[in-house]
Chain A
Amino acid sequence: MNNQGKSGLGRVIIGKYGNLIGLIVLIVLTTILTNGMFFTQRNLINVLRQVSVNGILAVGMTLVIITGGIDLSVGSVVALTGVIAALLQPQGTAAAIVLTLLAGAAIGGCNGFFVTKFRIPSFIITLGMMTIARGLALVFSKGEAISGLNDSFSAISESYISPSISLTVFGFLALLIVFLFVKERKSSGYERKIFTFNFIGVMSVLFIAAAVAVLVWLIGFRGMPAGVAVFLGIAFLGAYTLNQTRFGRYVYAIGGNEEASRLSGINVKLVKFLVFLIMGVLAAVSGMVLAARLNSGVPTSGVMFELDAIASVVIGGTSLSGGYGSVGGSIIGAFIIGTLNNGMQLLHIDPFYQEIAKGVIIIGAVLMDRKKK
């Protein structure tokens, strides 16, 4: 009995925190293999910036996949919105940003409209939208990269928020998260097993403390890169929405049982529509961050980004059949992929092999997920 309990706890930890443990192992391994090159301020900031583009998409993709859908168009939308933003530069940075976000919303809304109104599987609609958006990007840009963005636009990704400001904001956010966490624990009416609670509690506190320490260390370097700040902000908003709002609860409910949700008075179509709309907006954000980093709108960029986003979500433990998942998991997934990419670059591994390694990791993560169930 005792033995069983122990292995049960082990399984809970590996099941719930398997991807987190995987990430830590991967970071340690990469650091050792690169003789510490990986774990320098300069490189880690680079990793953060690379992860941001995919991470923003992964947050939206988490919502889409929890409702039981999928969005294959995001990679093309990243390219299209990048091109649109670049073309809109003469109108001023603010107008370019707003209009590009609207364009993303329109494409996402279009996906959502066809999925909900005509009950066509999202796989099909977004597959179509994937090639439409790619085609539009090529048409608008006449097939060439549009370079020479306003400095104020490039600042979206390239500028640094000064250490003092970012530390203040960051500290405030950290406090808010701790506050919400404690509040939720307190308000749940039933007791838990003390041991499990404490153990996992200690684990999470330790991990959060480590993550905070690393971030503070990185911010101390030159400040927070603006693109990374955008990503972290969106991640926080996404996690908050899923856990604390009605909309988030409905997202889970619809993924778990659409019919029961409808009968419970939930406007299923509206929620699904909004989820695709949000995905479109986030793809536009991601597209602008990428364009700002490349200092141009590139119609051929963003290829396969949808797969990286989906892979992050799946590695993060979200079920492709809907109903389960978390933004936190997807972000860990995005960091696993980011670390892998960066580590292999540092080790000068042929990019072709990088693709293979990524595929192996994805399949491995899903296998682990299966075993858990």
Chain B
Amino acid sequence: MENPVILETRNITKDFPGVRALDSVSFQLKKGEVLGLVGENGAGKSTLMKIFSGAYPSNTYTGEIFIEGKRCVFNGPKDSQGAGIAIIYQELNLIPELTVAENIFLGREPTVGKTDIIDRKKLFSRAKDPLGLLNIPLPAQEQIKNLSIGKQQMVEIAKALSYSAKILILDEPTSALTEQEVEVLLKLIDSLRARGVSMIYISHKLDEIFKITDSVTVMRDGKTVASRRTAELSRQEMVSLMVGRNIEDMYPKKAAAIGEAVLEVKDLFVSHPFLVGEKVVKEVSFKVRKGEVLGISGLMGSGRSELVTSIFGAFPADSSGEVYVEGKRVRIRSPYEAINYGLGLVTEDRKLYGLVLGMQVGENITLTCLEKLSWHQIIMRRRENELINKYIGALRVKTRSSETVVNTLSGGNQQKVVIAKWLATGPKVLLLDEPTRGVDVAAKAEIYQLMDNLAGEGLGIVMVSSDLPEVLSMSDRILIMHEGRMVKELQKNEATQEKIMFYATGGK
């Protein structure tokens, strides 16, 4: 009854200087199935994928790969493509100025006779085959830059199909997609499965794993710790397999004593950075009290990030409205002023906005508060180190030393460094924008615990998040945004995922 195995690895071991990234990994993908590959950041998923893609040549690791029972040796991307493997990466590799068809056939364009001139007619008609396999209409002559991220991803998949790939690997495919786009993608995966394409689906989002996969392989510390039918696994089991221990309570939220308003925003409007007359935030008013966690929910582009960055004085466009910190009217025109008023902003994308990746862990932590660690211009090392060690300890940042370059840390630990650098300023209000995106389960639980403790200490916390379970369980109150407006406020006890989605998608 079982399908034959299409892709198999035996005892793959890969060492990096000082670390064993993969420890005799044996792994099987069956024909026509969707296999979910899950594990914390640093569990070895990406390394395994780079072996499948040929990015690591075969002499840099030990072990064997078989495709349909035949031993394969991958020394470069060409080898792996030739064997029928296609990988859709998180970062898309399309050329924005070229059309859909040109991107699909990049490097193997049909030409006129024996010349080097591209036969555009043939190009566009050939593109219809792979595009037809998608469930949505995608014009072959559209430029990539005019397509949404979701559609661009479809182009990548069409490209893979045009190679007649037998094995499709999707690496965190939904991390940049809207809810609707996710639906479209999942449907496409379904129909590709029906056509007999085998897929590996890597994701942190367990909901999707349960929805779409037939079986699941869990990786931890460079090993495959379990391979099961998805139907036989519970969410709890999967999480404890990933972290290697039982997480009884992922969301520890306990009610903190809620005090008076620490941050209040009245009638805030924020202009669009480029479009004259457009507003990205419209007439938003809210309060957050000491010890309270205020969740802000909404779809991407609903103005959530613009709202918090603008309060923080970091949004590159005009705003109007009133902001009060502890009852006092303040005008914040720069992050520097925001910090002085006691605000901290844990930004959305830690690699772009949160960290100086080439600098040390310690240097990143104190970047926000060097002023109080200096005598005039001169940095007082002892005080700086005390502060650094305090936060590395308090947040349990896993790093070899405070002088380790932050780039080498795992995603979860990098995120802790971002939080540490804002705690180091001694804030009264912490604005968190997607605080757990791309963070593994264990670190997530720790970050929630930390939020809890901070609220307990009387901090006001504003949390923008797309992760509905997170919003529901961590917030005392939830504000929902739609097209720049605050459309609904829900108390903790009345909020459900369905209600939030209803208002976030414009329901009234």
Interface flag for A160 (CB, 8 Å)? no
> Which stretch of A71-79, A81-89, A126-134, A182-190 is in the interface?
A182-190
Interface flag for A259 (CB, 8 Å)? yes
**Is there an interface contact between A188 and B403, defined as CB atoms closer than 8 Å?**
yes
**Is there an interface contact between B381 and A262, defined as CB atoms closer than 8 Å?**
no
**Is there an interface contact between A264 and B368, defined as CB atoms closer than 8 Å?**
yes
**Is there an interface contact between A187 and B356, defined as CB atoms closer than 8 Å?**
no
Given A256-B356, A260-B353, A262-B335: A184 and B363 within 8 A (CB)? no
Given A245-B379, A246-B374: A261 and B356 within 8 A (CB)? yes
Beta-carbon nearest neighbor of A321 in chain B: B358
Interface flag for A4 (CB, 8 Å)? yes
> What are the interface flags for B342-385 relative to A under an 8 Å C-beta threshold, 1 for contact and 0 otherwise?
00010100001111111100010001101100100111011001
Interface flag for B334 (CB, 8 Å)? yes
**Complex: A241 Cα to B377 Cα, angstroms:** 9
**Is there an interface contact between A265 and B357, defined as CB atoms closer than 8 Å?**
no
**Complex: A241 Cα to B379 Cα, angstroms:** 10
**Complex: A51 Cα to B338 Cα, angstroms:** 46
**Is there an interface contact between B377 and A247, defined as CB atoms closer than 8 Å?**
yes
A267 / chain B contacts, CB cutoff of 8 Å:
334, 336
Interface residue from A244, A259, A266 paired with B352 (Cβ < 8 Å): A259
**Complex: A259 Cα to B347 Cα, angstroms:** 11
Interface flag for A372 (CB, 8 Å)? no
Interface flag for A249 (CB, 8 Å)? yes
Interface flag for A273 (CB, 8 Å)? no
B403 / chain A contacts, CB cutoff of 8 Å:
188, 190
Given A256-B357, A259-B352, A260-B356: A188 and B385 within 8 A (CB)? yes
Q: In the complex, how many angstroms separate the beta carbon of B376 from the nearest chain A beta carbon?
A: 9
**Is there an interface contact between A263 and B345, defined as CB atoms closer than 8 Å?**
yes
Given A245-B377, A246-B379, A263-B345: A256 and B359 within 8 A (CB)? yes
A241 / chain B contacts, CB cutoff of 8 Å:
377
Interface flag for A333 (CB, 8 Å)? no
| A-B CB proximity, top 9 nearest | A190-B401, A256-B356, A265-B336, A245-B377, A187-B381, A257-B356, A265-B339, A265-B335, A264-B367
B347 / chain A contacts, CB cutoff of 8 Å:
260, 263
Beta-carbon nearest neighbor of A253 in chain B: B356
**Is there an interface contact between B367 and A253, defined as CB atoms closer than 8 Å?**
yes
Chain B residues near A (Cβ < 8 Å): 17, 312, 314, 334-336, 338-339, 345, 347, 352-359, 363, 367-368, 370-371, 374, 377-379, 381-382, 385, 388-389, 400-403, 421
Beta-carbon nearest neighbor of A7 in chain B: B17
**Complex: A249 Cα to B363 Cα, angstroms:** 8
Given A187-B385, A252-B359, A257-B356: A263 and B371 within 8 A (CB)? no
What range describes how many residues of A lie at the interface? Answer: 20 to 34
Q: In the complex, how many angstroms separate the beta carbon of B314 from the nearest chain A beta carbon?
A: 5
**Complex: A249 Cα to B356 Cα, angstroms:** 11
> What are the interface flags for A257-293 relative to B under an 8 Å C-beta threshold, 1 for contact and 0 otherwise?
1011111111100000000000000000000000000
Q: In the complex, how many angstroms separate the beta carbon of A139 from the nearest chain B beta carbon?
A: 38
**Is there an interface contact between B379 and A249, defined as CB atoms closer than 8 Å?**
yes
A188 / chain B contacts, CB cutoff of 8 Å:
381, 385, 401-403
Q: In the complex, how many angstroms separate the beta carbon of A275 from the nearest chain B beta carbon?
A: 14
**Is there an interface contact between B379 and A244, defined as CB atoms closer than 8 Å?**
yes
Beta-carbon nearest neighbor of B373 in chain A: A246
**Is there an interface contact between B389 and A323, defined as CB atoms closer than 8 Å?**
no
**Complex: A257 Cα to B355 Cα, angstroms:** 7
What are 30 pairs between A and B in contact, CB < 8 Å?
A4-B17, A184-B381, A188-B381, A188-B385, A189-B388, A189-B389, A189-B401, A189-B402, A190-B401, A241-B377, A244-B378, A245-B378, A245-B379, A250-B370, A252-B363, A253-B359, A257-B356, A259-B352, A260-B353, A262-B314, A263-B314, A263-B335, A263-B347, A263-B354, A264-B335, A264-B368, A265-B335, A265-B338, A265-B368, A266-B336
A246 / chain B contacts, CB cutoff of 8 Å:
370-371, 374, 377-379
A253 / chain B contacts, CB cutoff of 8 Å:
356, 359, 363, 367
A190 / chain B contacts, CB cutoff of 8 Å:
400-403
Given A189-B389, A244-B379, A249-B367: A256 and B336 within 8 A (CB)? no
B374 / chain A contacts, CB cutoff of 8 Å:
245-246
Interface flag for A305 (CB, 8 Å)? no
In this complex, which of A183, A187, A323, A324 has the most chain B Cβ atoms within 10 angstroms of its Cβ? Answer: A187
**Complex: A191 Cα to B358 Cα, angstroms:** 21
> What are the interface flags for A187-225 relative to B under an 8 Å C-beta threshold, 1 for contact and 0 otherwise?
111111000000000000000000000000000000000
A252 / chain B contacts, CB cutoff of 8 Å:
356, 359, 363
Interface flag for A233 (CB, 8 Å)? no
Interface residue from A191, A244, A249, A260 paired with B355 (Cβ < 8 Å): A260
Beta-carbon nearest neighbor of B340 in chain A: A265
Q: In the complex, how many angstroms separate the beta carbon of B361 from the nearest chain A beta carbon?
A: 10
B353 / chain A contacts, CB cutoff of 8 Å:
259-260, 263
Interface flag for A8 (CB, 8 Å)? yes
B377 / chain A contacts, CB cutoff of 8 Å:
241, 245-247
